[in-house]
Every structure is written in C-alpha cells, then in structure tokens.
Amino acid sequence: MLPDERRKEIVRKVNSADRVTVEELTDEFGVSGATIRRDLASLAEDGLIERFHGGALPASDDGTADAGDGDTLKNPNGKRAIAGRAVEELGDGDAVFFDTGQTTMQVAKEIPDGVSLLVATNSPENAFELRESCGEVKVVGDSLRPTSDALVGPSGESYLRKTNFDIVFLETDAIQEDGSLSVSNEDEARIKSLLVDSGHRVVLVADGSKLGRQSFREFATVDDIDVFITDVALSDEMAAVFERASVRVVDSQLVVS
C-alpha cells in the first residue's frame, strides 16, 4: 500500500473507531511504529486527525465554516451561552482580537449595540461578522488553512509581535489535565502563542468538549490565561489546575431548563 493510501485509511479508521493507538495501526498495516508516527504527524499537521501520546483521535471540528448555521455549529447552546457571558468583558474603546473558531464567531455575534471597539481577527468569517457591528476590521494573516479557515503566516506573526490588545478572545482544540493548551497545526499554534503575548487580558472561550484532551502542538498553558469561560461545571481536578494559575473561571454558563 502506498503511503498516501495508507494515510487515507488511517483517517477512516480513526474516524470510525473514535480512538486508535500506534500499536493497533502497526498491526493493521504491517509497518513500523516509526512509520505510523510519521503518518500521524503528517495527518495532524493537515488537521485531519488529532494526536495524543501513543495514538490518534478524530480532528476536532472547530473551524468557522458555516459557523452561523445552527445545523453545523457543534454544541450551539453551549457556545452561545459562553458568548453571552464573554461580551461582558468588553469595554467601550477596547482593542480586541478575535481568534478563529466557532465560539469566537458567537462572541462576535453577541457584541452589544453602542459599544465602540477596534477589532482584528485572523478569520475571514469572523471579519464579515465583526464588520456588521464594528465597521472597520483588521484582517491578519497571509494564507488560509482549508480545514479551519484560519489565516496564518509570517506577516500575521510580524503584526502580532508589534501590536497590543486590551482583550484577546482565544480558542483552543484541547485543554490537558496539566494545564497545557494545544491545537492540531503548528502554524496556528504560532499565531495563538503570539496572541497570548499580545493580549493585556486573554479570555479563553472553550466548551466542555475541549477539557481533558491533548492535541498535536502546545502553544500556551493556563498560566498565560486571565479568564476562562465555559459552558460546563469544571471537575475538582480541572478547577484546581486553573486555581493554581490564578485564572478567573466562569463556568456552568449553559443553564438547562
């Protein structure tokens, strides 16, 4: 089997099984563990899977394509609940960066009328949404990643190194039990790392599906975050991780009646 064919089969197997190990894949395809790990690294870089130590998971679908459509938005009630609380962090005249993602898209939709903001984003979808409420939008980045609709690249990185924001609304693919934040792509990880450095107040917006997970490339830890807003109640163990980092946690935002 050719490498491209094997990688396509790996993606199918990961998606159907929801979780596979390197050992299972070496038995399945009759190749070495080193070969499988290279395959997984390549697939994770392309955003087709997510890696964990010793195996792979299906890629998290947190891109902004069709993010305004309730039929394609994953956990719409949770993300909208997070967004409704997140906009309370805004102040008139703030310079705000909106990271790429479905949750930040919902935050953009919830911006109150009459609030004047200077806004920037590396998401074309977020830019169109922000234009409706904020007017001029700074769009940051060089090339568009097909799997997440995130703009990445050296000019965007250079811009972020020289720019300061009052608030950064940040997304992540995974929040590990040790407090690390990670995503499936190295280019996006570099952008997110710079966002963490450029924000006076970094507000992490992530639903419960991101908790206790690990993705391919770490870009920050909870020590770099000021506020964490989520839809679910944190476990005692995860709450302790944020408490040790002195992060203000706003959880249990989704109220089920």
Cα angle for residues 54, 231, 195 (degrees, 5° grid)? 65
Query: Are both 31 and 86 inside the same structural domain?
Result: no
Regarding whether 9 and 124 lie in a shared domain, the answer is: no
Whether 43 has a pLDDT exceeding 90, the answer reads no
Domain match, 109 and 170 both: yes
Report the interhelical angle of 124-134 vs 102-109 (nearest 10°). 10
pLDDT the model gives residue 68: 42
Whether residue 98 lies inside any domain: the answer is yes
pTM of the model: 0.76
* Count of structural domains within the chain: 2
The average pLDDT across 214-235 equals 93
Which of 26-30, 48-52, 82-86 has the least mean pLDDT? 48-52
Domain carrying residue 22: 3-58
Cα–Cα distances in Å, from 187 out to 31, 42, 120, 184, 233? Answer: 29, 13, 18, 9, 31
- Per-residue model confidence (pLDDT) at position 173: 92
Q: What angle do CA 165, 216, 104 make, to 5 degrees?
A: 35
Asked if 39 and 156 sit in the same domain, the reply is no
Percent of the chain clearing pLDDT 70 (strictly above): 93
Return the higher-pLDDT residue of 16 and 123. 123
Tell whether 30 and 119 lie within a shared domain: no
Same domain for 238 and 111? yes
Rounded mean pLDDT, 27-43: 90
Residues 139 and 100 in one domain: yes
pLDDT of residue 64: 38
Domain containing 124 — which CATH number?
Answer: 3.40.50.1360
Q: Which of 88, 121, 76 lies closest to 203 in space, CA to CA?
A: 88
Whether 124 and 244 map to the same domain: the answer is yes
* Range with lowest mean pLDDT among 55-69, 91-105, 151-165, 191-205: 55-69
Q: Is residue 18 part of a domain?
A: yes
What digits encode the pLDDT tens for the residues 99-143?
A: 999 999 999 999 998 899 999 999 999 999 999 999 999 999 999
Looking at the fold, whether 113 and 237 belong to one and the same domain comes out as: yes
Residue 50: pLDDT above 90? no
Whether residues 35 and 82 fall in one domain: no
Average per-residue pLDDT in the chain? Answer: 89
Asked whether the beta carbons of 63 and 148 are under 8 A apart, the reply is: yes
Domain check: are 203 and 89 in the same one? yes
Same domain, 48 and 98: no
Q: What integer pLDDT is reported at residue 222 of this predicted model?
A: 98
pLDDT one-digit tens code per residue, 75-99:
788 899 999 999 999 999 999 999 9
